[in-house]
């Protein structure tokens, strides 16, 4: 059995990074007339304001070769990878070296490398460093792979036809303004953010710059900047006051002995986001930083509990929001502008895996027309999003309308598909989907409009069905269904409940209303 992991690609990249061009040549092929790719960089190190120019050289002394073409950058953390999927307009996806190869996206697929090709391409990718990039060593890599060889979620010897990498470093120079705390807070309309917006100004050696003016301004949304309530900038709590917000003027304060400056922000009553830009006006070479605050929750839909007791809420507008159960302070974990990867499509449910990773399900629906149904894994620290299973990721019956998710003891995911009236098991590594229970799998009352689910201590699955007004227990092995409480006999022709268990009244639902809700 082939491993469901990217070990082959990982080893080849690491091999090339450690050994350089000679090893990259060895990793390509033992054939004498194999195609080759080489990365070129305009310089080995960069600072803020400087321009990176990436070029490519391609040769094929042998016969015509069909291949998928990959171009990407390995970040200084040694794990995160950006794969280019388009150069004009610039676009790509974020993955990890230890992720499934299915998340590795090619720039070009099934292309023909002609015999005798000898080409040099300049400025394939051009980038100007702003100073906000992570410090350290980056690796640009390019590769040719056998067509479709990585799309099966496996990696085998011979999948990679050629691979080359080039390293460059990025280091800070001169003073810089750093965001310390206060970003991505969520409060109710009219409230003051519980945490101040705190920045630190430091020189090129990391020493604080004292007594420097720092200016904050609301550049998007409705909010009012307030002076800090204390001369210190240690974390503080401000009692929420539902007061009207007025048009905000920019505010300037001086950095303290630690090079820090703090601002309070009162949000308006309009739902949405507020963006505050903080800059050092007397130092134009220093890049400003931005803080995002959210007026919400706007559309809370589902909730889960993390290992430390924090609550994670799916909000239909903002994405994933973490809530402190003690003081109610909220911060957005992942959503528009927070975290990398594909954006959520109407998220509806959330679960927490054993390792703390978050899993979100959802997709766009308009009445009974649904699209983009997906299972997304979210890094609880960075907010980065990775597609785990959707129409193009993982094998098995496609989702129709995902509404609930839970995690089994062995790490398998179970998803409620409302439109299918089904419980679907999802492999957490490959994204493959298998039916656990539906109209043709398992015995017992069929699921009609399942919307949420959980896993009992003994591994049994429990599903909430809004049409049945029932809790249904599902055997995770056979798919058999038994009603715990609610309707036990639902007529799919008349859409009426004729018998119930647990004291619930038979449901009186018209066919039209049930059909309209089945999305």
Q: Which of 92-106, 352-366, 393-407 has the highest mean pLDDT?
A: 393-407
| pLDDT classification of 503: cutoffs 50, 70, 90 | low
DSSP notation for 257-286: TTSEEEEEEEE-SSSEEEEEEEE-TT-TTS
Helix (H) / strand (E) element for 406: namely strand 402-407
Q: Is the peptide bond before 297 cis (omega within 30 degrees of 0)?
A: yes
Give all domains of the chain, ordered by start, each with its CATH number. Answer: 7-170 (2.60.40.3880), 176-295 (2.60.40.10), 300-517 (2.120.10.30)
**What average pLDDT does the segment 224-238 reach?**
53
Residues 6+ apart with CB under 8 A from 207: 259
Q: Is 24 helix (H, G, I), strand (E, B) or coil?
A: helix
**Cα R_g (the chain), whole angstroms:** 27
**What average pLDDT does the segment 485-508 reach?**
66
Q: To which residue do tokens 């905000």 refer? A: 248
Q: What would the pLDDT profile of 165-224 be if each residue is shown by its tens digit?
A: 999 999 867 788 999 999 988 887 778 898 999 999 998 778 899 999 999 999 988 889
Distance, CA of 270 to CA of 296 (rounded, Å):
10
Residue pair 12/160 in contact (Cβ under 8 Å)? The answer is yes
Residue pair 499/487 in contact (Cβ under 8 Å)? The answer is yes
Of 358 and 92, the one with more pLDDT: 358
- The runs of H, that is alpha helices, within 175-225 are none
Judged against a pLDDT cut of 70, whether residue 305 lies above it is answered with: yes
Q: Tell me, what DSSP letter sits at residue 393?
A: B
Judged against a pLDDT cut of 60, whether residue 416 lies above it is answered with: yes
Q: What are phi and psi of 367, to 5 degrees?
A: 55, -120
Q: What are phi and psi of 375, to 5 degrees?
A: -115, 125
Q: What are residue 249's DSSP bridge partners?
A: none
**What average pLDDT does the segment 417-435 reach?**
95
Q: Could you tell me whether strands 311-315 and 300-305 are parallel, antiparallel, or unpaired per DSSP bridges?
A: antiparallel
* CA neighbours closer than 13 Å in the CB half-sphere of residue 246: 3
3-state secondary structure 166-180: EEEEECCCCCEEEEE
Largest interatomic CA distance in the chain: 79
**What average pLDDT does the segment 266-282 reach?**
86
Residue pair 473/433 in contact (Cβ under 8 Å)? The answer is no
Q: Is 69 helix (H, G, I), strand (E, B) or coil?
A: strand
**What average pLDDT does the segment 256-284 reach?**
89
Q: What are phi and psi of 140, to 5 degrees?
A: -90, 130
Q: What would the pLDDT profile of 446-488 be if each residue is shown by its tens digit?
A: 998 999 999 999 999 999 998 888 999 999 999 999 999 888 7
Output the CA–CA distances (angstroms, integers) from residue 129 to 53, 59, 124, 125, 403, in the order listed.
11, 31, 16, 13, 42
Q: Could you tell me whether strands 289-295 and 185-187 are parallel, antiparallel, or unpaired per DSSP bridges?
A: parallel
Closest Cα to residue 388, out of 364, 412, 417, 422? 412
Distance, CA of 86 to CA of 75 (rounded, Å):
19
Q: Tell me, what DSSP letter sits at residue 379?
A: -
Q: Tell me, what DSSP letter sits at residue 338?
A: B
Residue 91, class by beta-carbon neighbours within 10 Å (0-12 exposed, 13-18 middle, 19+ buried)? exposed
Of 366 and 491, the one with more pLDDT: 491
């Amino acid at each position: 059995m082939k491993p469901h992991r990217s070990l082959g690609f990982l080893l080849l990249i690491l091999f090339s990074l450690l050994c350089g061009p000679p090893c990259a040549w060895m990793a390509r092929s033992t054939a004498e007339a194999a195609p080759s790719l080489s990365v070129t960089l305009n310089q080995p190190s960069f600072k803020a304001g400087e321009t990176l120019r990436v070029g490519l050289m391609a040769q094929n002394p042998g016969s015509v070769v069909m291949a998928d073409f990959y171009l990407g950058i390995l970040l200084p953390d040694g794990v995160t990878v950006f794969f280019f999927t388009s150069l004009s307009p610039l676009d790509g996806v974020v993955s990890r070296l230890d992720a499934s190869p299915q998340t590795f996206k090619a720039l070009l697929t099934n292309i023909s490398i002609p015999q005798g090709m000898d080409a040099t391409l300049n400025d394939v990718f051009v980038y100007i460093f702003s100073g906000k990039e992570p410090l350290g060593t980056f690796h640009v890599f390019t590769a040719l792979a056998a067509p479709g060889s990585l799309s099966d979620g496996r990696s085998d010897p011979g999948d990679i036809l050629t691979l080359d990498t080039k390293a460059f470093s990025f280091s800070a120079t001169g003073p810089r303004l750093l965001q310390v705390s206060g970003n991505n807070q969520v409060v109710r309309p009219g409230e003051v953010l519980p945490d101040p917006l705190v920045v630190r100004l430091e020189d090129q050696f990391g020493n604080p710059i004292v007594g420097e003016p720092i200016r904050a301004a609301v550049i998007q949304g409705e909010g009012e900047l307030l002076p800090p309530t204390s001369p210190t900038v240690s974390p503080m709590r401000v009692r929420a006051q539902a007061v009207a917000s007025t048009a905000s003027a920019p505010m300037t304060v001086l950095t303290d002995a630690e090079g820090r400056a703090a601002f309070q922000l009162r949000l308006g009553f309009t739902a949405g986001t507020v963006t505050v830009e903080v800059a050092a006006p007397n130092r134009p070479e220093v890049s400003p930083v931005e803080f995002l605050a959210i007026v919400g929750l706007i559309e809370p839909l589902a909730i889960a509990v993390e290992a430390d007791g924090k609550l994670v809420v799916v909000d239909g507008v903002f994405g994933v929001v973490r809530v402190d159960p003690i003081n109610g302070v909220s911060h957005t974990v992942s959503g528009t502008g927070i975290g990398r990867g594909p954006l959520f499509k109407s998220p509806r449910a959330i679960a927490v895996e054993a390792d703390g990773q978050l899993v979100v399900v959802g997709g766009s629906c308009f009445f009974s027309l649904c699209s983009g149904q997906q299972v997304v894994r979210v890094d609880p620290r960075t907010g980065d999003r990775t597609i785990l299973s959707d129409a193009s990721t993982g094998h098995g019956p496609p989702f129709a309308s995902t509404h609930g998710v839970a995690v089994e003891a062995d790490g398998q995911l179970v998803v409620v598909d409302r439109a299918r009236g089904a419980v679907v098991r999802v492999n957490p590594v490959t994204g493959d989907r298998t039916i656990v229970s539906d109209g043709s799998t398992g015995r017992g009352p069929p699921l009609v409009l399942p919307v949420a689910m959980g896993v009992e201590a003994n591994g049994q699955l429990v599903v909430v069905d809004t049409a049945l007004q029932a809790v249904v227990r599902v055997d995770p092995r056979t798919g058999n269904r038994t009603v715990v409480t609610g309707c036990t006999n639902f007529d799919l022709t008349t859409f009426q409940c004729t018998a119930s268990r647990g004291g619930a009244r038979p449901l009186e639902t018209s066919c039209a209303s049930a059909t309209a809700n089945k999305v």
